[in-house]
Structure 1
Amino acid sequence: MSASQHCLGDFPLACGHTLPAAQLSYLKIGEPNAQRSNLILVPTSYGARPEDLAWLAGPVLNPERWCIVIAGIFGNGASSSPSHGAMGLAEQGWVVSHRDNVAAQRRLLAEVFGVERLPLIYGWSMGAQQAYQWAVDHPEAVERICCVCGTARTSPHNRLFLLSLRQALTADRHWNGSGFNATPEQGLLTYALIYASWAASQPFFRSLAELVEDHVEQHWLPHYQRHDPRDLIAMLDTWLAHDVAAGGDLAASLGRITARTAVVAGSHDLYFPLDDLAADADTIPGAELHVIPSELGHRAGNPHSSPAEQRQLSRIVETLLQQPSHV
């Protein structure tokens, strides 16, 4: 199963730059019905490519009933990214916003699938951020959103975590101010250590039989080594800039959401703690807050190898889809 590419042509970004010959990667699982009313959009999370989230088809989303379209964000190395040579970093004024990702996804759905209204947007982490952005900016196009382990605005504490990741890469001796003269091996190792320390929970790391250093090098570092480090930075900058209210009144922006909303927190998520998700849910009309008890931490929202969490997510999605589309 491999992703396809949709050509967007020269694509203007909110930061003022234009992506020449922009490409959006996507994966389709299942088939649209005759009315084109069964398409579920899954925006990708940080570092993920569409194939990485294909596991959702079956355990969480039913591909026999739904046409599942997984759309890759700009910067992930599959869609247009700095590694492709035509996109810079924040040092040159390039910052992709989620409004840019949503605009590209809207074109994909209209131009490839002939769809302008979605029964559900399902997103984890940065995918949840995009689901919120859709619901705030295009309420007429979104019937339901399921936002798993993600918030509507990047919190100050979350921002601190992201800045530490960026610093781990740009402090490497191979950073030249706009890219890298060679692979930043030490920077990537430091980056992986920071990322892993927050992605899983304290109980998870206590349960390991191996040293945490070995665990990170074997199970985390390879995931980031597959990326061009400039792409990792570009996605961090999108995350850092995330704010559905664009610096305005967040409560007012979330209060305009008409989509039926499920907000899903992980009990041990250190990136997006329960209090932050509960605050978003309290502001969205009719939103329901769910908590997944899990020692996987943030990864409880992406449990590709954990059936218990998969079953919980499946029940939440099925309940959401059975409810009226709007509050």
Structure 2
Amino acid sequence: MNSADFKNGEYGDVPPKKGLQAFFRVYSTWALSPEWFRQECWKDVGCKTLQEYLNQNWDGGGEANDLLALLWTWQHGDVTRYFPEDAGDLAKTLGRVKARCLIVPVSTDQYFPPEDSEQEVKALKDGILRVVPSVWGHLAGGGNGTKEDTEFMVREIGEFLKLR
């Protein structure tokens, strides 16, 4: 929105590259963990430098209005709104869930830290928590981490589905 080339969302065929690049550069520091940067994990995906990794993976992709819709969802996505009688009490609302739930955060996810998931699982009647041990942060949860990250999730989901 603050990008000079955003044009109030009416940019036509020429996307607001400056704003998108700025957004994704900031996003990359949250999507990946500080440990990922310390361990120079960009080398694990064939990049020689951090700059090369950022250029290849975080330079202005996406659609600006889609990103604004995503941000709006993050700001307003509140399951407690469906139960006004719970007065915003997330634990109370989660306590209404009857389904068995598997919650699989990543140990270094800065958007959805496992500590939050621990509290949510406590509120669920039948919740199971399995934390993916990974330095790939938020990306590991979407299958963009290591082979081991994905194998961990597949294994845990498989075990969960075997439960009755």
Which bracket does the TM-score occupy, shorter chain normalised? 0.7 to 0.9
1:255 aligned onto 2:90 = no
User: How many residues are matched?
Assistant: 152
Q: Which of 45, 51, 55 does residue 217 from structure 1 map onto?
A: 55
Q: Which amino acid aligns with 2:93?
A: S
Cα distance in 1 for partners of 2:57, 2:7 equals 29
Q: 1:242 to 1:172 in 2, by over 3 A?
A: same
| Contact 1:260-1:320 at 8 Å conserved across structures | no
Task: Give the secondary structure class of the aligned counterpart of 1:314.
Answer: helix
- 1:245 to 2:83 alignment: no
Displacement of 1:305 in angstroms is 6.0
> Could you tell me which of 220, 228, 231 is aligned with 2:63?
228
Q: Does 1:307 align with 2:142?
A: no
The runs of 5 or more residues in structure 1 that have no matched partner are: 1-169
TM-score, length of structure 1 as denominator length: 0.43
Question: Which segments of structure 1 move beyond 6 Å, counting only runs of 4 or more?
Answer: none
Looking at structure 1, the residues matched to 50 and 144 of structure 2 have their Cα atoms a distance apart, in angstroms, of 21
Structure 2 stretches of 5 or more lacking a match?
Answer: 82-86
Cα distance in 2 for residues equivalent to 1:235 and 1:179: 18
**What does residue range 30-109 of structure 1 map to in structure 2 within 5 Å?**
none
1:295 aligned partner: 135
Match of 1:186 in 2: 18
| Cα distance change of structure 1 residues 304 and 201 upon mapping to structure 2, 3 Å threshold | closer
The aligned counterpart of 1:204 is 36
C-alpha deviation, 1:258, in angstroms? 0.8
Question: Alignment partner of 1:192: what SS?
Answer: helix
CA contact 2:139–2:145 (8 Å) conserved in 1: no
Q: State whether residues 266 and 293 of structure 1, in contact with CA within 8 Å, keep that contact through their aligned partners in structure 2.
A: yes
Structure having the higher strand fraction is 1
Letter in 2 for 1:273: P
Q: CA RMSD in A?
A: 1.9
CA distance in 1, matches of 2:5, 2:144: 34
| CA offsets 1:293-312 (integer angstroms, 9 cap, x no match) | 11111112122462211221
Partners of 1:253 and 1:305 lie apart in 2 by 32
CA deviation after TM superposition for structure 1 residue 179, in Å: 3.4
Change over 3 Å in CA distance of 1:305–1:250 after alignment to 2: closer
Whether contact under 8 Å (2:5, 2:18) holds in the other structure is no
Q: 1:277 aligns with which of 102, 110, 117?
A: 117
Q: Distance in 2 between matches of 1:303 and 1:266?
A: 11
Structure 1 position 183, deviation (Å): 2.4
The CA distance in 1 between the partners of 2:10 and 2:117, in whole Å, is 35
Instruction: State the 1:282 CA deviation.
Output: 0.8
Aligned equivalents of 1:304, 1:183: Cα separation in 2:
25
**TM-score normalised to structure 2 length:** 0.83
Tell whether the 8 Å contact from 1:268 to 1:294 is kept in structure 2 after alignment.
yes
Aligned pairs for 1:116-127 (under 5 A) are none
Name which structure has the greater RCO, CA cutoff 8 Å, separation 6+: 2
Change in Cα spacing, 1:251 to 1:199, as seen in structure 2 (3 Å) is same
